[in-house]
Each structure stands twice: as structure tokens, then as C-alpha cells.
Amino acid sequence: MMIVISASEAKRAQSACRRQNNYQLSIINYQLIILLAFLLLLPSCQRERAKGTLFVPEPAADTTLTDLDALVDAGEIIVGTISGPETYYDYRGTPLGAHYLLAQQFANPRGLRINVQTAHNVGELLQMLRDRKIDLAAYPLPDSLLSGDLASAGFHADDKHRSWAVSKDATALKDALDHFYSEGLLAAAQKESSEARRSAGSASGMAQYSPRAQFISREKGIISVYDQLFQEAGRANSLDWRLLAAVAYTESAFDPSALSRAGARGLMQLMPATAASLGVSDAYNPKQNVSGGARLLRTLLNRYEGLPASEQISFALAAYNAGPGHIDDAQALASMRGRNPNRWDEVAPCALALSEPQNYLLPAIRHGYFIGRETVGYVSTVLARYAAYGGTSAAPSGLRSPHSSASTPRKKNLPTIKGPDDELFGE
């Protein structure tokens, strides 16, 4: 028997069927969601159950950076000080001073570079610290001045009531400095600074060197086994090769393997950074070293271009020894005293005076404490040796007379000399 269903009844049946299907799908979807949530929570529950603290959240780790952490992340600590023989000074490109070396001992194990900023007086240094221009004042400051927003840290001399200082809110840095410093560290740093100064630079202070004779043969005009290198470098840089020889002997006593404790290397005693800037990849290679030293000396001579040749050479030698910054300061002091800043004999006394605080702390003096007596002595020594080698500081253009027979000995006077074992060596 056929059952006839009206159109309206069919629609109602289809609608009910769809609702039933949707309901079943909803049930299935809900069950799937519950199952998925359970699976996601299960590992966490197992971990918490193992700890006996089911569903109790762990406390969040403290990710707050301390002031010291921030410095370590930056890789640098800005150290303020006042230049002086016991605090900080530049010696032939080497930073020295007991308080500087002490700060370096603190910074190095933490991977911190030291950026030194100098003040001319205590008031200026304290203001730099308050203005957050420096992180640490590594200078023996009176304890009576360290109050309010400043705190003593690290070095302290209880008998003199002096100490280093940091900002009061730099608590982590203060704690680290206080933990670092102990009695006896400053004395050790003072000894290290003194030894480094004595050994940094010329042949008289070599840590390792084997001196040669000043002449191989005075009669034959042969100065050293490196004469050909001096001549080649002299021609390339418009220098009298005998001036290069005089500098080399004063610096290293003609030992190509000479090494100062400060790190100066080779015949012309080039510091690593200076050698790199001159394109010298192997400072112990005599040819590279002499070539680099000649380029450096030529650059310094050009700095004093316009002066008479004798003055040009004197100032360039002084800058080769001490760095041009200290010579600039000596010239500035000469001007302040009414002396001629372009005459070495008038600038030299001012270089000597820069070892006195009433001079090196003047606002116009930018490079601080300076041991001028060594540089003045160096210039005199090189010039005397240059004269002994037959040179003259009065040569036109300073420095090399290409048509003068005296500037380069004739080939017949320059036999090939293999080294110290050659029979002509030492004649």
C-alpha cells in the first residue's frame, strides 16, 4: 500500500532529520573538544602531580636586569677619573696608573671594556657621576663628599677616608665592587704600573731584546745589516735612511725580535694597533716593520709641515715617542707661558712641566699627566745618534737629500753583509 505524504509533511520530516544530524554532530564536536583539552592538559597535570602540587602554578622567574647586568650586556663600563701618576695616564699608547689597572682587573673577568673619561677636578668628576655620564668614579674621592645620591664602592682607604664611588641606586655594581676589592690590591697594581712604565717602549726598557753594535763599520759607512731596508723605506717616504737607523737603534738596538712588556714589537717598536693601522701584518718581519715605522714617521713629519727641518724632525720624534696628543699639550702650555710653540727648545721645558698637577690638570691640557723627561731625552738621543751616523736635521724638506752623496753611501762602500757572523760585522 502506497503512503502518500504531502509536500509540507516532507519538508517537516527533512527539517527534523537535519536537526537530528546537527545535534549528533554537535555532540561529536563537543566530545572531540573535551578529548583534545584533556590530551593537552595531561602532560602538565602529570608534571604537577609528580611535584605534589597539582594545578599550583610555579612562580615566574625573576627576569629583571640589575644595573650590573645591563653593563655586561652592553660590554662596556664607563670609568671616570682624574689623570695622574697613581690614577690614569697614557704612556706611549699604553694606559697606565694603579687605579686604572685596578678597574681593569674588575672589568676583565666580566667581559667589560673600559671607556675612560677624565675630569679636571673632583667637582667635575662628581657631576659626571650624578649626570650618569660615567658608571664608576675610579678615583680616591673624599668620603665626606659621597652622600645623598652617591655611594662609596670598591677601593677604599680607611686611613685617608677616601674611596671610589657609584650612583647610590647602582646596588649590584656596588656589591660587586665591594666584593672584588681587598687590601693589598692597590699596592699590587702600583707595582704593576711602575714595572710596565719602565719596560714600555725603547730598548732601555725591553723585556726581551738582544742588542747589536751601533755600527758595523764606521769607516765603510755601514750602520747595520738592515741598511738596505732603511734605504728602501727612506726612498719610499722621502726620509734620510740614517734617521730611520737612528730611531731603530734607539728603539730596539737593532733587534728585530725585540718585545717590550707593553707589547711594542720589532726594530721600530710598533704597538699592535699602530702596526695594524699601517698595514703591518707581521711586526717581527724586519722589512714590514721598518716600512711601517717609516710611514709613521713620515705621517708625523707631515703633521709639523711648515716648520724648519730641524724643528720638524724634533717634533716628529717627540710624537713618535709619546704620541702627538702629549706634544699638543706641551705646545699649548708653551703658548700659555708666552713661549714659541713651534720651537722644540721652548716646548721641551713645558713637556717636562706636564708631570706636575698644577700643569696637567689645567683645562687646556687634554691628555693629562705626562712623563716628559723621557720624551725630551729620547729626542736628544735620536738626534745625537743621527748626527753620529752622518745625518743632519738641516737637510732640505727634512729629510732626504737625494742628490747628496752623503745621504746614501756608494755601492762600493756597501758590501753584502750576511749577519753578525760575517767577518765584516763589528769592524
pLDDT in tens, the chain (427 residues): 444 444 555 455 555 455 555 555 555 565 666 666 556 655 555 555 444 444 445 555 555 678 899 999 999 999 999 999 999 999 888 899 999 999 999 999 999 999 999 999 999 999 999 999 999 999 999 999 998 899 999 999 878 899 999 999 999 999 999 999 998 898 898 888 887 776 654 444 444 455 566 766 666 778 999 999 999 999 999 999 999 999 999 999 999 999 987 789 999 999 999 999 999 999 999 999 999 999 999 999 999 999 999 999 999 999 999 999 999 999 999 999 999 999 999 999 999 999 999 999 999 999 999 999 999 999 999 999 999 999 876 443 345 533 333 333 333 333 333 333 333 333 3
Q: Where are the beta strands (DSSP E) in 74-144?
A: 76-82, 89-91, 94-96, 113-119, 136-142
H or E segment and range at residue 246: helix 241-252
- Tell me the one-letter amino acid at 205: G
The CATH number, out of the four listed (3.40.50.150, 3.30.1330.60, 3.40.190.10, 1.10.3130.10), of the domain defined by the range 67-199: 3.40.190.10
Q: Is 307 in contact with 393 (CB distance < 8 Å)? A: no
Which phi and psi (to 5°) does residue 344 adopt? Answer: -60, -35
**Residue 8 C-beta-side C-alpha neighbours within 13 Å:** 0
Q: Are 269 and 205 in contact (CB under 8 A)?
A: no
CATH 1.10.530.10 fits 204-413, yes or no: yes
C-alpha cell at 158: 680607611
CA distances in angstroms from 148 to 127, 144, 191, 334, listed in the order given: 13, 11, 35, 42
> Do 269 and 207 form a contact (C-beta atoms < 8 A)?
no
Q: How far is CA 324 from the centre of its chain?
A: 16
Where are the strands (E) in 191-283, listed by range? none
Q: Report the pLDDT value the prediction gives residue 342, as an integer from 0 to 100.
A: 98
Residue 144 burial by Cβ neighbours in a 10 Å radius (0-12, 13-18, 19+): exposed
- Give ∠ CA 81-87-88 in degrees, rounded to 5: 75
In the three-class reduction of DSSP (H, G, I as helix; E, B as strand; rest coil), residue 207 is classed as coil
User: What separation, in Å, do the N-terminal and C-terminal C-alpha atoms of the chain show?
Assistant: 143
Which one, of 362, 365, 258, 278, lies nearest residue 320 by Cα?
Answer: 278
pLDDT of residue 372: 95
Give the pLDDT score at 212.
63
Q: How far apart are CA 28 and CA 43, in angstroms?
A: 24
Q: What does the chain come to in residues?
A: 427
Domain coordinates in residue numbering, the chain: 67-199, 204-413
Cα radius of gyration (the chain) = 37
**Residue 159 grid cell:** 686611613
Round to whole Å and give the CA distance between 353 and 49: 78
What is this structure's pTM? Answer: 0.73
Q: What pLDDT score was predicted for residue 196?
A: 73
Amino acid in position 320 = Y
Asked if domains 67-199 and 204-413 share a fold, the reply is: no
Q: What is the pLDDT of residue 295?
A: 98
Bridge-partner residues for 91, per DSSP? Answer: 94
Distance between CA atoms of 328 and 221, rounded to whole angstroms? Answer: 37
Q: Could you give the dihedral angle defined by the CA atoms of residues 258, 260, 265 and 270, in that order, rounded to the nearest 10 degrees?
A: -130
DSSP one-letter code for 408: S
**Under a CB-based contact definition with an 8 Å cutoff, are residues 341 and 335 in contact?**
yes
Cell of 120: 679636571
